[in-house]
Every structure is written in structure tokens, then in C-alpha cells.
Amino acid sequence: MPDTPTATEDVTEIATKKVTKQVAGKDEHPSDIHIGQLTIRFLIDGPAANASVTILELTVPPCAEVPASHSHNAFDETIYGLEGILTMTLSGRVVEVTPGDVLYIPRGDVHRFDNPSSATARALAVITPGILGSTYFRELAAIVNAATGGPPDPAAIAAVMLRHGLTPAT
């Protein structure tokens, strides 16, 4: 079956099939996006699913370097813990997300995540509406992964973030 709907296929049906094939998989998948030490696996890429929802699986190794604090005004984000402990900072409040925990991040709230533990953390992120998709993460990966001998260019990262509706915190 093709990855794009035909006149007789429903986008939800296609997305459900992809989730069934990919969810909770620890093995490398061809669509995985690596940004530094982080791995992002899209289960539903919102822009390709009528922008109704984006669902991604985030894998954060111990002590990984993670994105800077940011906010987004056009979409909400919900984090669901799958494995390990993901330490979220939401509007200055620190919250540990463990397996089965849910954290809602409303539009405009400044947030970030870390994994200071000695075990890998995994979580699902649900973005509604699904206007943020894999293109953002691929553009970010290109900048971060090209940096050698030093940190990535913060101005280039900020430009990608702003272009996709994220606002870096100052």
C-alpha cells in the first residue's frame, strides 16, 4: 500500500497501519531522525496526515545534549513516558515523566527536557494540531550533525525554529 492516500484510502487508516508497524520499536528504523544523540521516530507525520496530529517517539540517551528551552504558540504538546525518566522543565517547574506519566504542555509555555539519569529515556510526543512534522527535525539535524569541533550555530538553529513556529527562550 502506498504511503499517501488514494481516493479509496483514508489517511487515518494509513496512519494506523504505520503506527502498528512502528510503535514501541527499539530497533533502528529507516525513518529515524538523529539529532546529535537524540533519536526521533515519526509514528504520524502531521503535515502528511492533514495536519490533525503529529505523534513521534523520542529516545534520549543518558546525559544527552538536548534542545534549548523554547515555546510554540500554534500547537500544544503532550508527553507520555514510555521508558526511563525524562526530566521536563515547564515554565520553570521541574517534572519527572516516568513510564505511564502524561505531561500536557500548553501553547506558549516555555519548556525543555533532559535525561540526567544513567538509563535511556523514551517518550511519545503528541502535537496538536499536527503542523510540526519531520521537515523541522530533518532541518535541525542537518545543522546539529554538521557541527564538528564545537557547538552548532545558534543563529542557524534559531532560524529553523522560528520558521517552524517554535520560539527559542531567551
| CATH code of 105's domain | 2.60.120.10
Tell whether 6 is covered by a domain. no
1 domain-assigned? no
Domain of residue 33 covers 11-168
Phi (first) and psi of residue 78, to 5 degrees: -125, 130
Q: CA 46 to CA 36: how far, in whole Å?
A: 23
pLDDT in tens, the chain (170 residues): 445 444 444 444 544 444 444 444 455 666 899 999 999 999 999 888 889 999 999 999 999 878 889 999 999 999 999 999 999 999 999 999 999 999 999 999 999 999 999 999 999 999 999 999 999 999 999 999 999 888 899 999 999 999 999 999 97
Q: What is the sign, positive or negative, of the torsion defined by CA atoms of 109, 160, 164, 77?
A: negative
- Give the per-residue pLDDT at 56: 96
- What total of structural domains would you count in the chain? 1
Task: Round to whole Å and give the CA distance between 33 and 65.
Answer: 15
User: Domain for residue 4, yes or no?
Assistant: no
pLDDT at position 28: 61
Q: Which helix (H) or strand (E) holds 15?
A: helix 11-22
Amino acid in position 28: E
